[in-house]
Amino acid sequence: ADSDIRNLILRFKQKTAYKYKMLYQEKLWQENYYEHVLRKDEDTKSIVKYIFENPIRKGLSCNILNYPYSGSFEFTLDEF
């Protein structure tokens, strides 16, 4: 109940960015991240589909089933 997602993300990004910079001499993260709290009237499945399709939009994959870092505890990829 008292968790702080912003603080968690900030600390995670700081630690990983420092290590990455030491290894590769370049930035790892963009300046901000986008957060969206789902409301009860929003279709969760359409939001999940949008997120799963991010690698396709960025040219990292041609199909969500072929992208090795996609996954969910609630949905299977073949539902999309």
Dihedral of CA 59/55/19/15: which sign?
Answer: positive
Mean pLDDT of 33-52: 82
23 or 75: whose pLDDT is higher?
23
Cα separations in angstroms, 21 against 4, 28, 30, 49: 26, 7, 13, 32
CB 1 within 8 A of CB 12: no
pLDDT reported for residue 33: 67
Mean pLDDT of 33-44: 78
Average pLDDT of every residue of the chain: 86
